[in-house]
Amino acid sequence: MKVLFVSSEAHPLVKTGGLGDVAGALPRSLQAEGVDVRLLLPAYRHVLQQVESTKPLFSMGDLLGTGEVWLLQGYHPQVTVPIWLVDCPALFDRPGGPYQDEEGSDWADNGIRFSLFARAAALLGISGALTGWRPDVLHLNDWQSGFVPLWLKHWGAERPATLFTVHNLQYQGVFPKTLLSEVGLPEHFYSMHGVEYHQQVSMLKAGLYYADQLSTVSPTYANEIQSTEMGEGLDGLLADRSEQLNGVLNGIDTAVWNPQQDESIAKKYSLETLSSRAINKEQLQTTLGVSVNDEAPLFGLVSRLVPQKGVDLLLTVIPEILQRGAQLVVLGSGDSALEQWLLHLQQQWPQQVGVWIGYNEPLAHAMMAGSDVILVPSRFEPCGLTQMYALRYGALPLVRRTGGLADTVDQQSGFLFDDVSSESLAVVLHEAVDSYSDRKLWKQKQQYAMKQALGWERSAKHYIEIYQSLMQVEE
Ligand code: ADP
Ligand code: GLC
């Protein structure tokens, strides 16, 4: 079974959030199950700097008038699956992130960039002759690859099956209507029964509309997005396609996130040596500049600072528990208003609040190893990975019961609240502080958390079942 895994990010080559983690780990698990899988990414400058060497495979021609496009093969010691890169220097070889420039503004030509990426992926799907490798399934991820099924539909050629996975329905890849003609797609796709979305073109909707099968990253989120409240205006389409919509819970990369082998933490530990965790807490308190004190329950937050993550709810009530002697450490970046709020809080509570604004992968590991509680008070959460990292590291997750958080955390392994309100969050924050004083019980909870099975094995098998069902339809 041949699968081309199409993603706009993949750890350790390029990552802005959970999609990067998933695309870094799932292909390897599929490979371990015997799938012949290749990873397709844009050849961003950052990726070209990460891969050890690149080999041009063949020219794909000038696909959209932005210069000749090459398919490159790259190598990286930590990536076991073949890495294919869509190289179009005018679009991808630039400083900054995959979607945004160094100032944090979206690249103005994202519509063109990801139309081209999708077109290249679709071409690889139909033209096995060029590579000698024709995929049976194109596994597409998020809006950046939403146009793949649209190109295939447009060409009408013999094609592989498509599975489109939604990691976050809120990111829709919306562009002006003129994008279609700019990239050479016919206007008739601009329709309610097509890619039209609020008088614009949505790449996410294209994927949802034209892919053969759909999935999202937890069973609960798969249900939630079929409701008006959480469907982002796409609930009708999703409900119509509910037969094809699968909820497949993400796993975590248990090799990368393993407290027994983690080189980024002060002291490695396991379930049996849980007391060594105290050294990591001490180190984290030092790094973030709060007072070193094991008696203080240490709450950690590792997050993009965006409305989705409910950080505003947290900051409204956190003083209540700081007053009780708790501490808060934060690693994140995003909305400047939230960043400012955090920095202000740090000034007010210098001994108890430590804030690191920015992106820092090793520190994310240290946060899991040193925090007593990891906070995930999201308004919605398709799956969420940090609560799973927390479980594995014996930091108890405190989460809102939504999406994948509801599917991965229970009362025995963590703390949950229901309403999107700071009052509900406050109740459970106090509960966590109370629980921390009973260290014996706390340790039992940690042990239970650390025993959870969080790897990719089960979900990789589930994806393979979906691929198989798609291939049967094809035959
Ligand atoms: P999302 O994809 O919505 O951001 P997830 O929980 O699925 O949420 O994944 C977030 C990933 O990004 C995790 O691997 C987390 O550790 C990482 N992350 C988020 N913010 C930072 C940061 N500031 N520094 C390092 N890693 C971060
Ligand atoms: C998205 C979601 C997050 C999920 C991740 C990986 O970024 O916001 O909940 O864990 O994708 O699927």
State whether the beta carbon of 307 lies less than 6 angstroms from ligand 1: no
pLDDT at 32: 97
pLDDT at 53: 81
4-to-92, 120, 121, 391 alpha-carbon distances in Å = 20, 12, 8, 31
State whether the beta carbon of 384 lies less than 6 angstroms from ligand 2: yes
| Residue 382 CA, ligand 2 centroid: distance in Å | 6
- The residue to mutate among 140, 171, 250, having the most atoms of ligand 2 within 8 angstroms of its beta carbon, is 250
Which CATH architecture is the domain 271-450 placed in?
Answer: 3-Layer(aba) Sandwich (3.40)
| Residue 452 CA, ligand 2 centroid: distance in Å | 20
CATH topology identical between 2-251+457-474 and 271-450 = yes
DSSP string, 57-98: EEEEE-SSSSS-EEEEEE--TT--S-EEEEE-HHHHSSSS-S
Residue 42 and residue 85 in contact, taking contact as beta carbons nearer than 8 Å? yes
d(CA 108, CA 291): 45
322 vs 52: which has the higher pLDDT: 322
Residue 76 and residue 41 in contact, taking contact as beta carbons nearer than 8 Å? no
Q: Residue 83: which residues within 8 A CB-CB, separation 6 or more?
A: 13, 38, 39, 41, 51, 73, 74, 75, 76
435-475 pLDDT, tens per residue?
Answer: 999 999 999 999 999 999 999 999 999 999 999 999 986 54
Residue 147 and residue 206 in contact, taking contact as beta carbons nearer than 8 Å? yes
| Residue 331 CA, ligand 1 centroid: distance in Å | 9
Q: Which amino acid is located at 354 in the chain?
A: G
| Residue 292 CA, ligand 1 centroid: distance in Å | 26
State whether the beta carbon of 293 lies less than 6 angstroms from ligand 1: no
Tokens standing for 223? Answer: 């249900």
Taking Cα atoms as reference points, which of 113, 94, 138, 115 lies closest to residue 6?
A: 138
60-72 pLDDT, tens per residue?
Answer: 999 999 999 999 9
| Residue 273 CA, ligand 2 centroid: distance in Å | 31
Q: How many Cβ atoms are within 10 Å of 343's Cβ, its own excluded?
A: 14
Position in ligand 2 atom list of the atom nearest CA 165: 12
pLDDT band, very low/low/confident/very high, at 129 (cuts 50, 70, 90) = low
Average pLDDT, rounded, for the chain: 97
276-319 pLDDT, tens per residue?
Answer: 999 999 999 999 999 999 999 999 999 999 999 999 999 999 99
Domain spanning 2-251+457-474: which CATH class is it, in words? alpha beta
pLDDT band, very low/low/confident/very high, at 157 (cuts 50, 70, 90) = confident
Residue 230 and residue 224 in contact, taking contact as beta carbons nearer than 8 Å? yes
Would you list the domain boundaries of the chain?
2-251+457-474, 271-450
353-391 pLDDT, tens per residue?
Answer: 999 999 999 999 999 999 999 999 999 999 999 999 999
Position in ligand 1 atom list of the atom nearest CA 16: 12
What are the φ and ψ backbone dihedral angles of 227, each rounded to 5 degrees?
-105, 155
Collapsed DSSP state (helix, strand, coil) of residue 180 = helix
